[in-house]
Amino acid sequence: MRTVTMNDEGPDKVTWTIRFEGDEADQWDELLYSLRRETGRRTLSKADIMRAFVDLASDEDAAVRCALIEALGRTTPHRQPLRP
């Protein structure tokens, strides 16, 4: 994983938004707080979690990627499976 600091020249930052339904925002908050406790990182952010997740899921052989593919393939009442 590459860490970008103020002195690094890297790509421009991109802001994006996720719209949550129902209890999804609470799930995010609970995940953030539990990961802060488990890692001992008081300043851990949701962006840190997403960066780590993307890094882990980018490995085609990783269990995280397999779990993501399985989860995205399931149909739930408020979500339709992603189309290719």
Is residue 35 scored above 80 in pLDDT?
yes
pLDDT for residue 81 = 54
- Give the mean pLDDT of 40-59: 94
pLDDT for residue 27 = 95
Distances (CA, A) of 35 to 28, 29, 40, 43, 76: 11, 10, 8, 11, 26
pLDDT for residue 76 = 61
Question: Helix axis angle, 63-73 relative to 46-57, nearest 10°?
Answer: 100
> For residue 49, how many other CB atoms are within 10 A of its CB?
15
- Give the mean pLDDT of 48-65: 93
pLDDT for residue 49 = 95
- Give the mean pLDDT of 49-56: 94
AA identity, residue 67: A
Residue 65: exposure state from Cβ atoms within 10 A (0-12, 13-18, ≥19): middle
